[in-house]
Amino acid sequence: MRRFFNTTGLCKPENHYMVDPFRDLYDDVLRLIGDQQYFVIHAPRQTGKTTFLHALAHRLNRDGRYVSIVCSLESAAYPGISVEDANAVFVRSLYRMADYFLESQYLPPNPDLYPAAEYLLGRYLTDWCKALDKPLVLLLDEVDSLYDDVLISTLRQLRDGFQTRPKNFPQSVALVGLRDIREYRLRARADNPSIGAGSPFNVKAESFLLRVFSREEVRGLLNQHTNDTGQVFSDDVFEKIYAYSGGQPWLTNALANEIVSKMLKSDYSREITSDMVETARERLIEQRQTHLDSLAEKINDPRVRPIVLSIVTGDAPAFDGFDDALRYCRDLGIITQGSPVRFANPIYREIITRILNSSLQAGINEDIAKTGWYLHPDGSLDMDKLLEAFTDFYRWNSESWLERFEYREAGHQLLLMAFLQRVINGGGRIEREMAVGNGRTDLAVFWKKQVIPIEIKMNHNARSLSQGLQQLTGYMDKLGQQRGYLVVFEKKNSEELPREQRIRRELLVVDGKEVVVLGM
C-alpha cells in the first residue's frame, strides 16, 4: 500500500505522509507530566490534535514509565445531557479506548461492575489508578465541546482528584480542544450557579498551542511523496502550496492530495506544475468541504465579526474586548498569530470574502458575466470599461444594497469585489490583500497575462487620496505594473455633494506610473 496525503482523521505513519506530530512540544509536555501537572493543548480543527495525542500516548506506553490513554469526551457533547448520563458515557468510553491503547494488565475496571447510579468519572479514575503499578497519564480530547453543568462537573472532578495523584488519581491530565481554558467559562455560562466559589477552571499549569506546519515541515512532507514515488514537487510548486495553505495542516495535505490523487489520478509519471496548484486551490474553494465550510458558521460569531470587518476594511479597530476577540479568533485559526492581523492564509481569505459577498454576487444580473462586453477584441480584459459599468451599477443600486447588507461597514469594498468576482470567474482570478490597520483593501486581477492592481480606499479625510496614491504605487511596484486603479468611496454619511458630483474619474501620473482614480 502506498502512502498518501491524508485529509480525514488520524494520521498513521504506515499509511500517510506525516510531519512530526509533536512539533517541538514533546519535551515541554514530558516535563509537565514528570512534574505531575495538568495542562491544556488547544488548536483549530484539523490541525493534528488527535494525531498528536495518539502519538503521545503510544510513545509514553512504549517508554514504560507511564500508562497512557486518549479518550474523547465528544459523545457527551450535546445540550441537555444530564451529569449522571455524561459520567456514564465517559466511563464506558475510557473502558473502550483502553483496550486499544493498553495491554490487558493495565485495563481499567469493567463498568458493568458498577451500579448505574454510581457512575462517576472521578471515582472510576481513582479505582483504576489504585490497581496500577505505574502512574496514569490521561489525555482528554474535545473537553471544550461539553456544555454547562457537564463541563463544570467534569473539571471539578479532575480538580478534586488532583490532591491525591499519582497513586489515587492520574499523575497528569491533558485537556485538549479548540480553545484555551479561559474560554471554557463562556462555554459553561459565566453566570451558571454551579460554578460556585471554588473555580473548577483553575486546573492547568500551562497551555500549549499546536502550531501550523513550518516551511521546512511542508517541504519535508512533500519530499516524502517524492521519495516514495519519484514524482517531484518543484520549488515553484512548493512555494505556491505553502503560500496558499500558510502551513495549515489540512490545507497543505488537501492541496497536495487534490493534485496527486484527483487531478493526476495517482499517475506518478506526470509532472506537477504550478498551474495545477492554482487549479487545486480554486477547486477546494468551490467544493467548500467541511473544513472550509465551517468558516461560514464562524464569521457571524459576535467576537469574530468585528475582527473580520476590520480586516476587510483595513480600519484600526477600537472597541471593548478587542484583545479577547483577537485571542479567540487566533484560537479558532481564522487569523494569523502575529502582526499585522490578517486572515490565516489566502484560501481562508478567499472563502470568507466569497461568503460575505455571495448574496451580492447572486443579485447581480447574469448578463454582466456572460456577454463578454468587458473584453478587448484580442480577448484581454478592458478594466476601464468594467469599472465604468460598476460605477453605473453603484450609482443606481448602492444605497438599497448597502442598507440590507449584514456587513454594512464593509459593504462598499464587498460590493466592488462581488461585481468583479461575478465577471472574473469567467476566465481569471482575483487575489486580495487585507489586514487590520492598513487603511485599504488591495486587489490584483489576473486575466490571462494581465495583472491589474486595484486599491479600495474609504475617503475619511483630506489625506485619504494622497495616502491611497502612495499605497497603490507601492502595491504596483510589488506586482511589477505601470498602471493601476484607485477606487475611493465616500463615507456613508458624507452628503456634502450630490451623488452625481461625487462620482468622478481622473487619470494621474504618480512616480511615472498611470493611476486611474475613481471617486464614488
- Of 386 and 297, more confident: 386
Tell me what pLDDT residue 439 has. 74
CA 409, CA 252: separation in Å to the nearest integer?
A: 33
For domain 26-209, the CATH class is alpha beta
Q: Cell digits for 168?
A: 489515587
Secondary structure letter of residue 480 according to DSSP: T
Residue 6 has pLDDT above 90, yes or no: yes
Tell me what pLDDT residue 3 has. 96
Tell me what pLDDT residue 197 has. 43
Tell me what pLDDT residue 195 has. 47
Residue 87 has pLDDT above 80, yes or no: yes
pLDDT, one tens digit per residue, over 349-385 is 999 988 888 777 766 766 676 778 889 999 999 999 9
Mean pLDDT of 213-219: 97
CA 166, CA 108: separation in Å to the nearest integer?
A: 15
Residue 92 has pLDDT above 90, yes or no: yes
Planar angle of CA 76, 82, 87, nearest 5 degrees: 55
Q: Cell digits for 147?
A: 456544555
Tell me what pLDDT residue 503 has. 78
Residue 73 has pLDDT above 90, yes or no: yes
With contact defined as beta carbons under 8 Å apart, do 12 and 214 qualify? no
Q: Which whole-number Å values give the CA distances from 496 to 417, 443, 456, in the listed order?
A: 26, 29, 21
Q: What is the secondary structure of 306-353 as a DSSP string?
A: HHHHHHHH------TTHHHHHHHHHHTTSB-SSSS--BSSHHHHHHHH
Of 297-311, 398-412, 445-459, the range with the highest mean pLDDT is 445-459
Tell me what pLDDT residue 320 has. 65
Classify the C-alpha dihedral 401-403-406-407 as positive or negative.
Answer: positive
Number of other residues whose CB lies within 10 A of the CB of residue 410: 26
The helix/strand/coil state of 250 is: helix
Tell me what pLDDT residue 306 has. 86
- Whole-structure pTM value: 0.87
Mean pLDDT of 108-113: 92
Question: CB-hemisphere CA count at 13 Å for 77?
Answer: 12
Mean confidence (pLDDT) of the chain:
88
Secondary structure letter of residue 429 according to DSSP: E
Chain length of the chain = 520
Tell me what pLDDT residue 483 has. 96
pLDDT, one tens digit per residue, over 17-47 is 999 999 999 999 999 999 999 999 999 988 9
Residue 229 has pLDDT above 90, yes or no: yes
Among the ranges given (76-90, 312-326, 417-431), the one the predictor scored with the smallest mean pLDDT: 312-326
Question: What proportion of the chain, given as a percentage, has pLDDT over 90?
Answer: 59
Nearest Cα residue to 263 out of 245, 237, 243, 296: 237
Mean pLDDT of 62-83: 95
pLDDT, one tens digit per residue, over 397-434 is 777 777 766 677 788 888 898 889 888 876 888 998 88
Classify the C-alpha dihedral 312-318-321-323 as positive or negative.
Answer: positive
The helix/strand/coil state of 70 is: strand
With contact defined as beta carbons under 8 Å apart, do 7 and 186 qualify? no
The domains of the chain are located at 26-209, 215-287, 324-519
- Of 495 and 461, more confident: 461
CA 313, CA 342: separation in Å to the nearest integer?
A: 11
- Of 30 and 316, more confident: 30
The helix/strand/coil state of 20 is: coil
Residue 155 has pLDDT above 50, yes or no: yes
